[in-house]
Amino acid sequence: MAGPLSFGSLEKRRPKRPVRFPTLPLYAAFALIGIAVSATVFGTVTGIGTVRDSFGAPVAIRDIQLVGGVGEEVQVIDARTDTVLAVFPVEEGGFVRGSLRALSRIRLQTDVVANAPYRLIRWQNGAVSLSDTVSGERIYLNAFGPDNAAAFAELLDD
């Protein structure tokens, strides 16, 4: 019979081994870190798999303001000189009116100043972008085709 301080079958257990951290996940983590560092060095040295700035620096910049609404003619005004750059009647300038309407909708959702200027930029590679100076939203107009981008590029040429 066991003594008064005996725990019965627990005394018959094998001696405890120290608990070790599993080595397989540790080696897998080191391998993953090594692969990530190797891929970064490879991409930096060779340029393969990296993203480059293909637009370059801005060549022409113009801040414009819009006057008019959906059912009326839209005037595009140079924000610095207050000269009228273009007038689009209700039935004309569909892409220009639609793009500016989309940016205006973003302004309505964010509760910002409605008469702040938009910024037209022509980049070194020939791309044209339209950005909102208040919300920071930018639309690259060449994605909509060369004719649509040319409609905005004309506003930069004046």
Rounded CA gap, 35 and 37, in Å? 6
What pLDDT does residue 114 have?
A: 67
Q: Are residues 151 and 125 in the same domain?
A: yes
Model pLDDT for residues 95-128, shown as the tens digit of each residue? 777 777 777 777 777 766 667 888 888 888 888 8
Instruction: Report H helices in 111-145.
Output: none
* Euclidean distance between the first and the last CA atom of the chain, given in angstroms as a whole number: 107
The pTM is what?
A: 0.60
Q: Are residues 114 and 39 in the same domain?
A: no
Examine residue 7 and state whether it is found in any structural domain, yes or no.
Answer: no
Report how many domains make up the chain: 2
Examine residue 64 and state whether it is found in any structural domain, yes or no.
Answer: yes
Examine residue 129 and state whether it is found in any structural domain, yes or no.
Answer: yes
- Of residues 101 and 34, the one with the higher pLDDT is 34
Q: Are residues 91 and 27 in the same domain?
A: no
Q: Are residues 41 and 100 in the same domain?
A: no
Q: Are residues 112 and 147 in the same domain?
A: yes
Q: Mean pLDDT over residues 50-64, rounded?
A: 81
Of the candidate ranges 9-13, 66-70, 79-83, 151-155, the one whose mean pLDDT is the lowest: 9-13
Examine residue 3 and state whether it is found in any structural domain, yes or no.
Answer: no
Examine residue 12 and state whether it is found in any structural domain, yes or no.
Answer: no
Q: Are residues 48 and 70 in the same domain?
A: no
With a pLDDT cut of 70, the percent of the chain lying above it is 84
Q: Are residues 84 and 150 in the same domain?
A: yes
Q: Are residues 69 and 126 in the same domain?
A: yes
Q: Are residues 104 and 30 in the same domain?
A: no
Q: Are residues 47 and 106 in the same domain?
A: no
Q: Are residues 78 and 132 in the same domain?
A: yes
Rounded CA gap, 89 and 68, in Å? 10
| 135: its two tokens | 């919300």
87-97 in b/e form (b: 16+ CB < 10 A) is ebeeeebebbb
Asked if 74 and 67 count as a contact pair (C-beta separation under 8 A), the reply is yes
Q: Are residues 94 and 73 in the same domain?
A: yes
CB atoms within 10 A of CB 12: 7
Of the candidate ranges 24-33, 78-87, 102-111, 122-131, the one whose mean pLDDT is the lowest: 102-111
Find the domain containing 113 and state its range. Answer: 58-157
CA 158 to chain centre: 30
Residue 38, pLDDT above cutoff 80: yes
